[in-house]
Amino acid sequence: MATPPDWDRNATWGGSNGGAGGSRTPLRQAFSSLSKSSGKKTAQSLSASGSTTPAHPASRSQSPAPEQGDGKPTVASDAGLADDLDNKAKLSLSRQSSVSNKSGAGSAAGRDAGAATAPKGDGEEDTPLQRALKNPYHRPLPGHPGNLTTSQAEALLELTQLLLKDGALHDPEKEPPSYQETQLLRFLRARSFNVEAARTMYLKSEAWKKEFELDRLCEEFIFEEEEAVAACGWRMYFHKVDKLGRPIFIQDLSNLDTTKLLQTTTPERIIKKFAVTLELAVRHRYEACTLSSGRWVDDNMMVVNVEGLGLSTFWTMKDQLQQLLGVLDQNFPELSGRVQIIGAPFMFSAIWSLLKGWLPAATVEKVDIAGSGYLPLILKYVRKEDWPKHLGGECCCSGATATGSDGATPAKGKSDGCLHSDEGPWDKDLVVGASPRPS
């Protein structure tokens, strides 16, 4: 499936959240600089044999990710990394500033990560991506770009060569090598770095996307029943980023009325909504988050609110849900680095026992379930000022309305601005249709 020629990835990016002020660099040009400013060197740095975190005075003492006998990536929790980013932010920024000064780059860390021209250091060109990967507090997780074992890097190279022979890879002029590698690594992780299994999965996914006309849907699809579906108890939206710079993807199913939902929309349109949302995130949100955070971002933090979700409600939609999960698993693997379920009622354990049988084992391992006292757990990963007020945080995005008597949830009949703001470092014009929009 070739990249459509009419994709506009030249929307400008610059400053905080891509807003006005300061120098602005085309988003595609800025992201391309992460992989193309030093030619093939950067792509090699992502997949070089035995690559872990690139050598750096501050990180040489770290041991590389151990490789298991079966070649699978080691499982590493992102909680510790989140704490490092939060508790050692000043030290991290100080070291970034030191590196910036030595290399002659006087811009702030965020702008430096998106600079179109990479400065040189120690007589050798050092790309923005390489500098981001060198930061010890931004170390990628095992199996992700910049942290591959020898066998994982070899698997990536073999898969790339096979897919080139299949004629299945996108135009490298439209998709930078690092973007392509990020995509292929998702399929490899989903199949435990079994090359032939990942190849089969990738080819089937490309065939499905072509038959599904996903390119056209990304340009044209409008989920007109958005607000009506929200009134049935289902809201899906992105809202800011977590402490690791990952987009926060919220699925709010609290008090879902499945009968009304299926009267309002169809399972086919729900699948289209999910597919377009996730595809646009892959194409635009992750790269913007990478530029904004200076850390390679290739997944999200998904939060699913199941408050009030009963067994009968689940049972009504179990067939449709199983179909949806199957489509997402086969065609959009490894897009969530963490799945946090919140507000789980007592009976949710029975629901989960069925759900986890429909999910890949790797996904099940990422899922954590919390009841009504979920907020302290959320705040390990998300700053309180970035978490929506109606879910216990402090964020009240522009457009939010008066709250109810509890001072947290929106007043009856009112909507919360966080549901519609689509706040984050991405260009909102490129992800239109992926999140609720006020009329």
Are 280 and 408 found together in one domain? yes
- Helix (H) or strand (E) holding 350, with range, is helix 348-355
Query: If DSSP codes are grouped into helix, strand and coil, which group holds residue 147?
Result: strand
Are 208 and 243 found together in one domain? no
In a domain, 250, yes or no: yes
The pLDDT, as a whole number, for residue 205 is 96
The pLDDT, as a whole number, for residue 142 is 85
Place of tokens 């457009």: 399
Are 184 and 247 found together in one domain? no
Comparing CA positions, the residue from 79, 52, 213 lying closest to residue 140 is 52
Are 38 and 171 found together in one domain? yes
Q: Show the low-confidence residues of the chain (pLDDT under 50).
A: 1-76, 85-129, 132-133, 136, 400-415, 433-439
Choose one of 158, 186, 212: the last residue of a domain: 212
Are 167 and 276 found together in one domain? no
Are 193 and 287 found together in one domain? no
Alpha-helix runs per DSSP H in 213-317 = 214-220, 226-231, 258-264, 267-280, 286-293, 311-316
Q: State the pairing for strand pair 247-252/300-305.
A: parallel
State the angle between helix axes of 195-212 and 318-331 in degrees (0 to 180), rounded to the nearest 10: 120
The pLDDT, as a whole number, for residue 405 is 34
Q: Which tokens sit at 308? A: 């009030």
In a domain, 397, yes or no: yes
The pLDDT, as a whole number, for residue 279 is 93
pTM of the model: 0.69
In a domain, 341, yes or no: yes
Are 24 and 135 found together in one domain? yes
Are 33 and 97 found together in one domain? yes
In a domain, 220, yes or no: no
Q: Which residues have C-beta within 8 Å of that of residue 252, sequence separation ≥ 6?
A: 233, 234, 235, 236, 237, 305
In a domain, 101, yes or no: yes
The pLDDT, as a whole number, for residue 54 is 29
Are 102 and 167 found together in one domain? yes
Q: How far is CA 318 from the centre of its chain?
A: 26
pLDDT digits (tens, 9 = 90+) for 361-377: 888 999 999 999 999 99
Answer yes or no: are the C-beta atoms of 376 and 359 closer than 8 Å: no
Q: What CATH number corresponds to the domain at position 21?
A: 1.10.8.20
Q: How many domains does the chain have?
A: 2
Are 242 and 164 found together in one domain? no
Q: What CATH number corresponds to the domain at position 367?
A: 3.40.525.10
Choose one of 186, 212, 238: the last residue of a domain: 212
Answer yes or no: are the C-beta atoms of 424 and 402 closer than 8 Å: no
Q: Which domain range does residue 140 map to?
A: 13-55+77-212
Q: What are phi and psi of 432, to 5 degrees?
A: -60, 135
DSSP 12-78: EE-SGGG-SSS--EEHHHHHHHHHHTTTHHHHHHHH-TT--SPP-TTTTTSPPPPPPTT-PPPP--S
Are 203 and 282 found together in one domain? no
- Helix (H) or strand (E) holding 86, with range, is helix 79-87
Choose one of 146, 178, 212: the last residue of a domain: 212
In a domain, 360, yes or no: yes
Are 291 and 402 found together in one domain? yes
The pLDDT, as a whole number, for residue 414 is 40
In a domain, 285, yes or no: yes
Q: Which residue(s) pair with 103 in the sheet?
A: none
Q: Which tokens sit at 366? A: 């990422």
State which amino acid sits at residue 145: P
In a domain, 67, yes or no: no
